[in-house]
Structure 1
Amino acid sequence: MSTSEKVFIIGPGFIGWNVLDLLIEEGYTVSSLITIHTATISHLPSVSSVLTGLHHRASTDQPIISIHTSGPSVLDSLSPSVHKPPLIYTSTSSSPITASPLQPCTAIDLTIIRVRRLAHTHQIAIMIPPGFKARHKRLTIQIPTITRFALQRGWVGHVGKGLGVESQIHVLDLARAYIVLLHHMEVSSPTVFQANPCFFCENGKEFSWKEVAEEVGRALEARGLIADAQPREFGRGD
């Protein structure tokens, strides 16, 4: 644990408030020596503010730790879900970020990587969460969107053949991963994160979007909300 035990967290929402709970349990207080950014992944102004602060502190001897939250779209193969993508990313390089220039969070992630290489005394890491679930029936946006579409149209659908896969994790486990990463950064040299600052956290299980559609269909049919649970492909007009 850091001797300062002080953290500044941005975006205490779906992910952030769970991280905040764990930080409070461990006795951390508010400061800018440790920054955890869990706000909207493509919100450049807040990220720029954090990077500006890091730049200003570059001339000081105070250790700075920053964890930025990216989005799982940096791992998107951009395929039309007609098959399970064969590409498997590893933790040995930041290639997922550099390989997906069309994703909205990629430019921000690359900016963070460039700043990290300039600020040799600071530790900067990027957390890449997958789809996640939580208490109080809260989910990431995709599954509720599929469900609302099914309720409006009377049938449940998926893109293409629905064979694209998504990793998953419970948001409380994701919050614990932030704490594990933070503790690792507190006792590590900044050079440890120079080669690759990216961390992907998931529970080892994948689901296809066809499986999601099938499960949504079964649940809605069982409640009498749609007549047919069998999913079908979305059309261009949908």
Structure 2
Amino acid sequence: MAPGKKVLIVGPGFIGWAVLDLLAKENYEITGYVRRKEHADQIKASGATDTVLGDLNDKALITKHALSHDIVIHTATADHLPSVEAILEAVQQRAEKGLSTIYIHTSGTSLIDDGAAGAYKGDKVYHDNIVSEIDSVSDNAPHRQIDLAIVRVQKKLREKAKIAIMIPPTIYGYNPHHGRLSIQIPVLTRYALKHGYAGYVGAGLPVESNIHVNDLARGYITLLHHLESTPANTPDILENPYYFCEMTGDNEPSWQDIASLIGTELHKAGLIPDSKTRTIPPENYGDLFMDFTPVAIGLNSRSRAVRLRELGWKPVEKSLSESYIQDELAVILKEDVDRKAFDGYHGVVAS
């Protein structure tokens, strides 16, 4: 479909590497913007045409390379404004020269966190075909300031660019060719191995939609093909940049359910004394996500991928529990680390 189409992926890590695999199969010309030479070699083996070694804060370098690409996909993090500004600068410069750019940014459904902090199951469900639902969230919501910066440029350029924001929920899954795990559930597992029990924030009642990383990657490809084939002046492009990508519908597990899954499997393996789950005390949040723990694993975040499904996308991968039992747990248990020294996750959680 796409000989001659040049794609720049900024941060082809857990999500972006899976997207890169699919793009390579369709003969896109792919440049990966990465931090490490080792990872550059890995994505070249997966089909990247070229790589650029650079830091997300190097705005000039990102803009330089985005200027020469028809398509830019940002999957590095949902919360890094300088790299987003660098891409938007390139999109605007290209528009001034009459060159249209497709830009897909990765946000996350912490955007729609209701502040439950583990206390209750929320009733609010957000649908991506109703733009007012997403625009109703606070400007101070997680990821929102980044998303708004993108929306402002989209409204300014209108049909001169095609800009979309992918908003994934909790991501799970494992690709043995990449050797990378997701974040929330592996961190909860490492916490359980350190402390001897599987836990949750507060009462563990909130629920969050979820998606397998490979289904999410197919969602990006479905979205890309839609943007490529749809005129830039259509209402679908101009009026709504948001796309959810979830697989569970109304069957989202609660965080207590996820703790139960972890506890059951670790107890079965003889690694914790029992499968009983319990509330994690706030003084232990340093072994999870520090001050962001109530947002990362205590939120209600219920989304429906109406738009991708209308485009023909559908999830086909293993469920969260199947993937955990069959794939991810074995990888976590093989980690060569001092489990008692585990002190949580210090990065940013995209969802």
Structure 1 length as normaliser, TM-score? 0.93
Contact 1:75–1:97 (8 Å) recurs in 2: no
Q: Residue 152 of structure 2 corresponds to which residue in structure 1?
A: 114
**How many pairs align?**
238
> How far, CA to CA, are the matches of 1:2 and 1:117 in structure 2?
27
Q: 1:190 aligns with which of 222, 226, 232?
A: 232
Whether 1:163 aligns to 2:205 is yes
Report which of the two has the higher share of strand. Answer: 1
Give the direction of change, closer, same or farther, for the CA distance of 1:110–1:7 in structure 2 (3 Å limit).
same
Q: 2:247 aligns with which of 184, 189, 203?
A: 203
> How far, CA to CA, are the matches of 2:98 and 2:162 in structure 1?
13
Q: 1:229 aligns with which of 270, 275, 289?
A: 275
Contact 2:5–2:70 (8 Å) recurs in 1: no
- Residue 203 of structure 1 and its aligned partner are, at CA, apart by 1.0
CA deviations 1:124-178 (Å, max 9, x no partner) are: 0000111122223754211122112212211221111111111111111111111
Q: Residue 323 of structure 2 corresponds to which residue in structure 1?
A: none
- Residue 3 of structure 1 and its aligned partner are, at CA, apart by 6.8
> How far, CA to CA, are the matches of 2:149 and 2:136 in structure 1?
11
Give the direction of change, closer, same or farther, for the CA distance of 1:97–1:73 in structure 2 (3 Å limit).
farther
Where do 5+ consecutive residues of structure 2 fail to align? 31-67, 285-351
Matches within 5 A, 1:16-95: 16-30=16-30, 31-91=68-128, 92-93=130-131, 95=133
> How far, CA to CA, are the matches of 1:19 and 1:183 in structure 2?
13
- Residue 219 of structure 1 and its aligned partner are, at CA, apart by 1.0
Q: Residue 140 of structure 2 corresponds to which residue in structure 1?
A: 102
Q: Residue 153 of structure 1 corresponds to which residue in structure 2?
A: 195
Q: Which amino acid aligns with 2:117?
A: P
Q: What fraction of aligned residue pairs are identical, expressed as a percent?
A: 45
> How far, CA to CA, are the matches of 1:78 and 1:156 in structure 2?
22
SS at match of 1:227: coil
SS at match of 1:126: strand
Give the direction of change, closer, same or farther, for the CA distance of 1:179–1:159 in structure 2 (3 Å limit).
same
Whether 1:123 aligns to 2:123 is no
Structure 2 length as normaliser, TM-score? 0.64
Give the direction of change, closer, same or farther, for the CA distance of 1:71–1:15 in structure 2 (3 Å limit).
same
CA deviations 1:173-213 (Å, max 9, x no partner) are: 11111111001001112242222100000113411100010
SS at match of 1:237: helix
- Residue 2 of structure 1 and its aligned partner are, at CA, apart by 5.1
Where do 5+ consecutive residues of structure 1 fail to align? none
Q: Which amino acid aligns with 1:200?
A: F
> How far, CA to CA, are the matches of 1:107 and 1:98 in structure 2?
13
Contact 1:217–1:230 (8 Å) recurs in 2: yes
